[in-house]
Structure 1
Amino acid sequence: MPKPSNRQARPVDPRVQRSRAMLRDALLGLIRERGFDAISVQDITERAQLNRSTFYLHYRDKDELLTQVMKDMILELSRRSHQLGDSPDRLHRTLLEWFQHAAEHHELYHLMLGRSGMRAFAVQLRNLLEQLMNLDLERAGNPLLSAGVPVPVVNRFLTSAYMGVLEWWLDRRSLHSPEDMARWLGALTSQLGNHAPATSSHAPRRG
């Protein structure tokens, strides 16, 4: 992985930011209306009221624009989630933020979880959720770890389950509210902890 540069990043020209925002909003609106595969660069620029030459100053094609939108979405979720701190109800609040974010970006999540070219972003999303879960799992006396299962195994088990539930929820057009989903997943996690076997004499491994 390349080391971050010590040089201060130069601010982005406001006109560039505005053009990119207009292209992003046009893309999202068209995805909602037609689906990603049915739209073209011409459609995007017409919706954004920009020239095609302006589009190609910033992106090679519509896939690169979508990739940038996905990156921005992951960064936004990461910022929002890390602002939650280390509170006792952190798991509930993390899940609530996650489902609210998915509700706001329903079509993008569908693309990310279902389109083969976007699976890398699903992996990033899962990794982010695992990072947010670590603090909760590593608290002393967590019953989910009473069987001596390593934290990464429990973490992957839970986050994979959460991702599966999210896909189910998206497929049903957000049938239940984010609040309900966060509460139910929190209750299921709590029940798993209450019924975790405590038969192992080995301390949980962290690696």
Structure 2
Amino acid sequence: MIIMTTKAEAFQQTDQLIRQTFIELGASKPISKITISDITRQLGMNRGTFYLHYIDKAALITAIETDFMTQLTEILDKEIGETMHIENYYAGFPYPMLTEIFELIDQQRALLKLLVGPNGDPYFIIGVRELLLKSLLQQVAHLKGQAGFRGDLPDNYVGEIIVSGILDIVMIWLNEAKPISKAAVIDIMMKTRFLSPYQLLGLPDNKKTSD
């Protein structure tokens, strides 16, 4: 049985090859040093074929980043009705949004290591940070009926503390030589959302108990 490939399918396959080759090249050189010639040479493709897909390298990078951000946004928007209840933490149930997010990160690990690495795109992580903060405020508004965190602390400080904590864990997981499992990193994320810094230090509880 012969399976015919349509022009649209062939175009899509070529597009995926261009993107994958760009990511592979990023493992050995900075994004700024990757050229269209590098991509076409590795694929055995003429430059004209590349230009049928992207007008330049910047357009390729933008398309790749936009696709990831779209997927992340869909997860965040879909789960907006669910909240991080402390009961789920104590019961050992992972937050559904975290499960989907870490599955996406794991699937796109090579791409993300390239984009957020020292030779990646510094604007990409800024966009992710802004998206997470926006989602966080939406979650709070859903729970409280209004956006905003605590009345005794500035919102920008609280938001930065929460989002930075999330991104720090993601960065550690991305850069581990032998990454722990998705279940393990999700467990860490859940615990660190509910434990105080004092509890994370593992210091003894000095509260006096009555006789």
Corresponding pairs, count = 180
Which whole-Å deviations, capped at 9, do the CAs of 1:162-196 have from their partners, x for residues lacking one?
Answer: 1122222212146222222222222211123998x
Report the equivalent of 2:134.
131
Of 97, 103, 120, 1:100 maps to 103
Report the equivalent of 1:8.
none
| Contact persistence 1:86–1:135 (CA under 8 A) | no
The residue type paired with residue 101 of structure 1 is L
Of 160, 167, 180, 1:163 maps to 167
Structure 1 residues 136 and 173 mapped into 2: Cα distance closer, same or farther (>3 Å)? farther
Report the equivalent of 1:205.
none
Shift in Å, 1:86:
0.8
| Contact persistence 1:26–1:44 (CA under 8 A) | yes
Report the equivalent of 1:199.
none
Q: Distance in 2 between matches of 1:132 and 1:180?
A: 24
Greater radius of gyration (CA) = 2
Q: Distance in 2 between matches of 1:82 and 1:121?
A: 20
Of 54, 62, 69, 1:67 maps to 62
Q: Distance in 1 between matches of 2:95 and 2:177?
A: 22
Matches within 5 A, 1:1-207: 14=8, 17-31=12-26, 34-35=28-29, 40-48=35-43, 50-89=45-84, 92-115=95-118, 118-138=121-141, 139-140=143-144, 145=149, 148-173=152-177, 175-192=179-196
The residue type paired with residue 175 of structure 2 is D
Which whole-Å deviations, capped at 9, do the CAs of 1:26-49 have from their partners, x for residues lacking one?
Answer: 3234445x4555754344235545
| Contact persistence 2:116–2:122 (CA under 8 A) | yes
Length-normalised TM-score, structure 1: 0.68
Structure 1 residues 64 and 79 mapped into 2: Cα distance closer, same or farther (>3 Å)? same
Structure 1 residues 113 and 29 mapped into 2: Cα distance closer, same or farther (>3 Å)? closer
In structure 2, runs of 5+ residues without a counterpart are: 1-6, 86-93, 200-211
Structure 1 residues 148 and 137 mapped into 2: Cα distance closer, same or farther (>3 Å)? farther
Q: Distance in 1 between matches of 2:197 and 2:175?
A: 28
Which whole-Å deviations, capped at 9, do the CAs of 1:6-39 have from their partners, x for residues lacking one?
Answer: xxxxxxx93654543332233234445x455575
In structure 1, runs of 5+ residues without a counterpart are: 1-12, 196-207
| Contact persistence 1:103–1:174 (CA under 8 A) | no
| Contact persistence 2:80–2:138 (CA under 8 A) | no
Identity of aligned residues (%): 21
